[in-house]
Structure 1
Amino acid sequence: MAPLPTTPFSSTSSPTASPSRSLLHSNSREWDVVVQRNVKSSILLLLVVSTVFVFSVVYTSRGFVAAATGEAISQRPLVTAEELADGPTVVAEDNVAAERQSPAAGISLPSANPSAAAVSPPSTAEQTETGDQSKYILYALTVTVSTYTSKFCDDACVHSLTIFSCVGEVGIQVEEKCDMSMGKWVREPKGPVYTNLTCPTLPDLKNCQKYGKDPGHLFWRWQPDGCDLPRFAPERFLDVVRGKRLAFIGDSLARNQMESLLCLLSQAETPVNAYADAFDKFRTWHFPLHDFTLTVTWTEFYAHAVPVVDADGKPTASFDIHLDRLNTNWTTRLPELDYAVISGGNWFFRVNYLWEGGRRVGCVNCRGEAGLTDFGIAYAVRRVVRAALEGIARCRDCKPGLVTFLRTYTPDHFEHGSWFNGGYCNRTRPLEEREVGLGHIGWELRRVQSEEVARVRETMTTGSRRFGVLDVTKAMMLRADGHPGGHYDKRWVRNASDCLHWCMPGPVDMWNEMLLRRLAEISPPPVVR
């Protein structure tokens, strides 16, 4: 008999293989196939059961829901008071003792979570940790599925497991956060969505290119840390707000934002001028194709305020601000709104007097007038913001689903003077962070505003009304190059420099990019089939 071969041969190719050996090899191969199929089926079943188990745990976990929908106070998606009713910690009732003095000293550049020290619900850390763990569970499951798919699956198996891989990716995406308040300005070669020639409603006072301003300030976009702020899409915005009414409530910077939004939206639909009061402080525009109404409502302080008169009975630049009364110019218009964007702060830098209970109780910037306590700007801003937010939360006639955003304080950039005494703003590019004063009062006003939004969320019974923050303070502190300066129609104001308002197009358009992102998060447009 010939010796057995020392090198392996298959049972079908070996000329010396016996029938019994061939049968043994054949049975072994069939058995391997059966085992492999059983293993694949078992692993697939295990993955299916594991997926169902993970998602049942994740989606019944209050911590995951909070983490998936919550962000830092300045940028988390909007929530109702009921969603935070389980044991929140209230902001210290009055962080006002320190605010009665000038807050300029000792203020550092805020972190990505500006309110961590001020507002700390007991469950926040636990919720965030739970959300992160859930994210990693989903990610691990996705990786496991992908590995199994690539190594063991046939076509049918790949198709089945892809479903679970996609589910895991959706879960991760829900958990992603975008703190739009922190970031930097980066070059944008595309330029703005509109130009001074394509916006039919652009006012001359903001038309900087028409009056010779260098166009360099147009080619920048705000890049948040760790995520992107999408370029403004007029059609998407109009789809989101179809059939709604939105109002900007505040001073001339609220009007600046309304004018910017008009220009942006006019690239998709021409607005109709529906109303203007005699002093041009209240305006209404309508977009008939989308049944969307856009308004601006004037108020310097939210609170009721009247000019202080001099000895001749003429109004001065100062105001008596009644901290316990809201200005009815804007409160009477609230019931018709679906969305409100409130803003302010710059009028508090005047010498103003604070009233409560029908008597003068103090002042702001009064420099120690006899018998009066100077409470400081931050204290006054906190009081009126609190009153405004509480007024909205308690509004009896307002729509149950009213959504309110507070846009944070934005500073001026005057250098070597002010409006009429030689001040100017002739920068040609955004500032570097090191060029922004760490002691700027803007950081303190931003903190106060964010804290008060957190407070109304946590202490007021608001039903389905929601409150959020459009935190633009840092972004705008860096844009000393984005103001008109002396580039405006001098027929309106002579020998002045405007380093407070914003050119259009310009950095102000970013406010509405941020607004669109927040609106789309809470009111996604209907899917057209």
Structure 2
Amino acid sequence: MACFKKPWFASSEFSRNLQQRPRTHHILTVPFFLLSLFLLSASYTSNSPTPYPAATPLFPPSSPFSNSHMLSKPRSRSTLSSVTAAERTHANSTNSDSQAIRDLASCDIFDGTWVRDEHAEPLYQHASCPYLDDAFNCFKNGRSDFDYLKYRWKPHGCHIPRFDGLKMLRMLRGKRVVFVGDSLNRNMWQSLACSLRASLKDKTRIYEVSGRREFRTQGFFSLNFRDYACSIEFVKSPFLVQEWKVLRNTGQRETLRLDMIQASKSQYNNADIIIFNTGHWWNHYKTRNGINYFQEGNHVYERLQVSEALRKALKTWADWVDSRVDRRRTRVFFTGFSASHYKGGQWNSGGKCDGEKEPITNERYLGEYPWTMRILESVISEMKTPVFYLNITKMTDYRKDGHPSVNNNNKGRLRTTVQDCSHWCLPGIPDSWNELLYATLLIAHNNTHF
């Protein structure tokens, strides 16, 4: 397995600058690639005057990564804009120019807007990818409107390069990429697998390490791209910590071990890139309102607030990463909370999102910043291991039009009783997450021997 020959955080000059960095007390949106390095010297407040935290400059003047353009300031947008021909030409260029890469590195890629592009094409065609879950395959399930694919994410002040699957595969040559988390991370994993597959002329050169049946039963799936000796894997772990069984007088009961990382048949701590997520299962319904569900050691809490349980679980995850992951080799990512758009109730109480044909156009109608992400940011800020936080919450909050909704079954029949307003159609919104991941790797490749 290939390793990083020159880690992006290894320079002595960077270490000195990090130690000299004064501690700040601002709410942060996470900027681009090197921002995560400074999470160790930042904390988060809980009293935001706006639904989403404001971007804050993090690069000190003495930093070797600083430049005259700090992070973009928060901006209000009342309407979505349309992409111009010049912007399209710039966005579809190879972006190999070093100045373009530097401009990208100084930009907060999560502070932006969706722009309409009539010439936009999905990274892979409808129903062309065999790795999609039926529940995400909206075309197969009868969705006929595809205007939601005519938008692309544009940060304020920079351009995201068009995803180049072959270039990404070359950057990933000899490496192992593992997604660990819930079905939203599976959404992202399948999007990446399909995007990379579409770039290959000979698609028989992809080897399915484990069959779909095993994936369904064991929660593990792996694709190997033979010509590049790299693998793209998914490990199901919706809580990141271990689901457990305890024996009571009334019989066996399920608990969640907040002090134990979830065991996996796939030992992924030595992967080259690990992309974690959690959040959607941390609700009162899934966790039985915290009553007799959370456990530490032999102690089962009679009642524990879900927010406190999440903090304990993420601390367990953070300790595991700091102790088990070799930060000289492995890059750790964490994908933020993906917004849902239920109206009239939640998924199990009549919530709906059918009929949505376009994104939210006014930032004032976005939801509140998720409490789960504030807890995550607090935990990350105390970690020894640099974690790059893919803060996709705001960019997904706009996209009420991108969910499977009623087109979430595998027989092409509408299911009006239960709609899916949490996951995303594929191709669709998760493709943009992987474009941000791709752009991140371009920065890494440009600045180090990635």
Query: TM class, shorter-chain normalised?
Result: 0.7 to 0.9
Q: How big is the shift at 1:218?
A: 0.9
Contact 1:107 1:443 in 2 (8 A): no
Q: Could you tell me whether the CA contact under 8 Å between 1:287 and 1:293 is conserved in 2? A: yes
Please give the secondary structure, in 1, of the residue aligned with 2:282.
helix
The correspondence for 1:184, drawn from 98, 108, 113, is: 113
CA-to-partner distance for each residue in 1:325-360, whole Å, 9 max, x for gaps?
Answer: 111127x61244111000011111122432224212
Tell me whether 467-476 or 347-356 shows the greater mean CA deviation. 347-356
| Structural RMSD (CA) | 3.8
CA, structure 1 residues 297+65, in 2 after alignment: closer, same or farther (shift >3 Å)? Answer: same
Query: 1:64 Cα shift?
Result: 11
Which residues of 2 match residues 147-162 of structure 1 at below 5 A?
A: none
Q: Equivalent of 1:356, from 278, 287, 296?
A: 296
Are 2:441 and 1:519 aligned?
A: yes
CA distance in 2, matches of 1:313, 1:235: 54
CA contact 2:29–2:54 (8 Å) conserved in 1: no
2-side partners of 1:472 and 1:434: how far apart?
Answer: 18
CA distance in 1, matches of 2:238, 2:341: 20
Residue 472 (str. 1) matches residue 410 (str. 2): no
CA contact (8 A) 2:32 2:105 kept: no
Task: State the Cα distance separating 1:489 from its structure 2 match.
Answer: 2.8
Deviation of the 1:130 alpha carbon:
7.2
Q: In 1, Cα distance between the equivalents of 2:431 and 2:51?
A: 24
> Does 1:507 find its partner at 2:441?
no
Which residue does the alignment assign to 1:323? 258
Structure 1: distance between partners of 2:100 and 2:141: 50
1:345 equivalenced with 2:279 (yes/no): yes
Residue 379 (structure 2) aligned to one of 444, 447, 452: 452
Q: What residue number does 1:267 align with?
A: 198
Partner in structure 2 of residue 75 of structure 1: 31
Could you tell me how far apart the structure 1 residues matched to 2:335 and 2:15 are?
32
Paired residue for 2:352, among 424, 439, 446? 424
Distance in 1 separating the partners of 2:67 and 2:378: 29
Measured at CA, do residues 360 and 110 of structure 1 come closer, stay the same or move farther in structure 2, by a change above 3 Å? same
- Equivalent residue runs for 1:166-177 within 5 Å: 173=102, 177=106
Where do residues 36-435 of structure 1 align in structure 2 (5 Å cutoff)? 74-78=30-34, 89=41, 91=43, 108-113=50-55, 127-128=60-61, 135=68, 173=102, 177-189=106-118, 190-213=120-143, 214-269=145-200, 270=203, 271-276=206-211, 277=214, 279=217, 281-306=219-244, 320-329=255-264, 333-349=267-283, 350=286, 351=288, 352=290, 353-361=293-301, 372=303, 374-377=304-307, 379-395=308-324, 398=326, 400-426=328-354, 427-432=356-361, 433-435=363-365
Q: Residue 186 of structure 1 aligns to which amino acid in structure 2?
A: V
Q: Check whether the contact 1:323–1:354 (CA below 8 A) recurs between aligned residues.
A: yes
Asked whether the 8 Å contact 1:338–1:399 carries over to 2, the reply is no
CA contact (8 A) 2:207 2:223 kept: yes
Cα separation, 2, equivalents of 1:346 and 1:183: 24
Tell me the CA shift for residue 390 of structure 1.
Answer: 2.1
Q: Say if 2:243 and 2:256, in contact at 8 Å, map to a contact too.
A: yes
Return 512-521 or 415-424, whichever deviates more.
415-424
The 3-state SS of whatever aligns with 2:33 is coil
1:305 Cα offset (Å): 1.9
Structure 1: distance between partners of 2:381 and 2:35:
10
Letter of the 1:485 counterpart: S
Whole-angstrom distance in 1 between the partners of 2:64 and 2:104: 7
SS at match of 2:239: coil
- What TM-score, normalized by structure 2, do the two folds share? 0.74
Task: State the Cα distance separating 1:435 from its structure 2 match.
Answer: 1.6
Amino acid at match of 1:320: T
Per-residue CA deviation, residues 270-308 of structure 1 (Å, 9 max, x unaligned), is 332111426152101111111110110011211112368
Whole-Å Cα distance in 2 between the matches of residues 375 and 420 of structure 1? 22
Q: Distance in 2 between matches of 1:171 and 1:501?
A: 33
1:402 is displaced (CA, Å) by 0.7
- Alpha-carbon distance, 1:131 to partner: 7.4
CA-CA distance at 1:388 after TM superposition: 1.1
Matched-pair contact (CA < 8 Å) for 2:366–2:397 = yes
Asked whether 1:443 is paired with 2:378, we answer no
Instruction: Give the match for residue 82 of structure 2.
Output: none
Gaps of 5+ in 2: 1-12, 22-27, 70-97
After TM superposition, what 4+ stretches of structure 1 lie above 6 angstroms from structure 2?
Answer: 59-62, 64-67, 129-134, 307-312
Question: Residue 297 of structure 1 aligns to a residue in which SS?
Answer: strand
Distance 1:187 1:80, change over 3 A: closer
Q: Partners of 2:247 and 2:412 in 1: how far apart?
A: 25
Q: Would the alpha carbon gap of residues 496 and 181 (structure 1) be closer, same or farther in structure 2, given more than 3 Å must change?
A: same
- Superimposed CA distance per residue, residues 155-180 of structure 1 (whole angstroms, 9 cap, x where no aligned partner): xxxxxxxxxxxxxx959937951111
Tell me the residue number matched to 1:482: 402
C-alpha separation between the residues in 2 aligned to 1:89 and 1:64? Answer: 8
Aligned positions, number? 384
CA distance in 2, matches of 1:171, 1:182: 18
In the superposition, relative to structure 1, how do residues 76 and 490 fare at CA in structure 2: closer, same or farther (>3 Å)?
closer
Q: Tell me if the contact between 2:131 and 2:193 (Cα under 8 Å) persists in the aligned partners.
A: yes
TM-score by length of 1: 0.64
Structure 1 residue 266, shift from structure 2 partner: 1.0
Q: Which ranges in structure 1 are unaligned for 5 or more consecutive residues?
A: 1-58, 99-104, 117-123, 137-168, 363-371
- Would you say the 8 A contact 1:112–1:179 is kept in 2? no
CA distance in 2, matches of 1:501, 1:234: 24
**Contact 1:78–1:467 under 8 Å retained in 2:** no
User: Displacement of 1:111 after TM fit?
Assistant: 3.6
Amino acid at match of 1:260: S
State the AA in 1 paired with 2:387. Answer: F
Q: Kindly provide the amino acid, as one letter, of the partner of residue 110 in structure 1.
A: Y
One-letter code of the match for 2:295?
W
Structure of higher CA gyration radius: 1
